[in-house]
Structure 1
């Protein structure tokens, strides 16, 4: 009998969108956009020892008065404090804006700091905290752009700013990547801000360092459609400038009709043996839920290789090198 450990995506069949995985003291903590949990908290939380078997823990964030929608949590640990970066809609009548919540332990509960990171921007989502090798913290996030500049198109793009402390942005955001290709269309002729636009979207930043270069992976397209997928840009410094790779346009991680629809909004983590893993969501074929999925990340020289989306049995992460 074959007893080699394997897994099959999805590794969790429930609704678990925009997954972020924090590895802390040998355990994996997964946070996700999901309906409010039975304990009344926001953001689904699960814990695992191997990235394959996950145990739901309820919710992670104490709700904020006025909040009606919460998206895309990511957690950073600094000086023994855990900081959850997320966006919320409805607080003081505002659209989605980036906020920070704190906890003394990775599983929470997280309590909002009362701090809005981008108070002067009408719409900001998908915060990604990143600590560079020199200890400097940065925050990548998505905002809207209403002008077409060069080959950039109108829609949602990604910027990066330095964190002067874990609750405060320096206030000098730099463009990382904006929509620039047909596959990144979100909705043609979309009514926004009192006008009509062919709206394109790039969101869900996730950083990885390889051979001294900074790779910003992102998701583009419409999150409810088959064109949604993951691509990347590269820079020599976290603040950029970022360059598009010289490869054919289109996502590296993309839909497999009949099996996985719209794979994306990824994070990265390290398997028990030190190998790199991409963690992402993808709709099932029936479009009933965005589900938690994992696959390998390897490198072909300077080019990342995303081994997915898979939907058949795969070797366990620590055996798949």
Structure 2
């Protein structure tokens, strides 16, 4: 949970302001945990935080760009005080982070983490909207409640990512990590707001958090973050399978720290519909001062993703 307390504290300033346009190369803007998706030819990013720290621990926003240079706010998606069940655990404070979106049958679904993890278990919520920019209305109950983690055992219900399989039409939610570093996979009911069943899976090697699923040419790629979020070992690893529920063959690390950019991770993959090129959208620390744990603000960056002839992902170079 410390990884979110730091991010939340950094973004509380200016919570009432909305940054409408940001001019940038890499990094694109301040923020973390970006879930990216193309909508009508425009790249949308749903992050924890956002440009200029204009969003904080009590709400989510979305940002979009036609050219990956100019970003505009898509407004407020949902606020913490509109989630009726959020105080049911008795904790004094609550935080929202790591959003993920999915769309099915003309509706949009926003999945998100609710903390703290201690002294109560973390939870995952889901809200529904008719448009990607919302407003989103919470389902009225937690989708998933975690377990308290002790001595490395337990399950932290964080970092939800929902994938709708084009072949079967089924929706799967991938969640978990950080304390306990355990991955769990669930099939959702057709309404996308209820768990139909859990699918037993083995936690892949080097898994810490931030699972993401995508498919290309019949290969299903499960990618995820490894290491501590504010250290140089934070990185992106992946495995492949012939189905969205595995079993996955571990393929190694593809995005790691370099001399200037540290701790890249909590990413998403997306394909540009105009050019066909694949992109990775992720956060990183820009030339942090001093040794880890790093302090300051994480930044969202976009870089190109390339595949080898056998479908494996080539190492990703971070750029400016």
TM-score, normalising length: structure 2 = 0.76
Higher relative contact order (CA 8 A, sep 6+): 1
Give deviations 1:152-209, integer Å, cap 9, x for gaps.
Answer: xxx312222211230111232322534x4xxx5xxxxxxxxxxxxxxxx511111122
Alignment partner, residue 278 of structure 2: 276
Distance 1:202 1:136 in 2: 25
Shift of 1:52: 3.3
The residue number in structure 2 matching 1:285 is 287
Match for residue 10 of structure 1 among 17, 20, 27: 27
2-side partners of 1:17 and 1:252: how far apart?
19
Contact 2:178–2:209 (CA<8 Å) still a contact in 1? no
CA contact (8 A) 1:207 1:216 kept: yes
Matches within 5 A, 1:51-62: 51-62=68-79
Gaps of 5+ in 2: 1-23, 88-92, 149-155, 289-294
Which residue is 2:193 aligned to? 167
Whether contact under 8 Å (1:29, 1:107) holds in the other structure is no
Aligned residue among 137, 153, 156 for 2:181: 156
Q: Which residue of 1 aligns with 2:143?
A: 117
Q: Are 2:257 and 1:255 aligned?
A: yes
Q: In structure 2, which of residues 151, 171, 177 is the aligned counterpart of residue 137 of structure 1?
A: 171
- The one-character-per-residue Cα deviations of 1:38-81 (angstroms, maximum 9, x if unpaired) are 69961232111133321234432221353621111011111111
Give CA-to-partner distance per residue, 1:225-272, whole Å, 9 cap, x none: 000000101111111111213xxx5x3201113x21100101111223
Instruction: Give the alignment's Cα RMSD to 1 decimal.
Output: 2.6
Tell me the alpha carbon deviations over residues 259-310 of structure 1, each in whole angstroms, 9 at most, x when there is no partner: 2110010111122312111100001113521111011111112211243222
Aligned length: 269
Give the deviation of 1:109 after TM superposition: 2.2
Distance 1:57 1:133, change over 3 A: closer
User: 8 Å contact 1:41–1:59 — kept in the other structure?
Assistant: no
User: Aligned pair in 2 of structure 1 residues 114, 47: CA closer, same or farther (>3 Å)?
Assistant: same
Q: Could you tell me the TM-score, scaled by structure 1's length?
A: 0.76
Once residues 81 and 309 of structure 1 are traced to their aligned partners in structure 2, the CA distance between those partners, rounded to angstroms, is 34
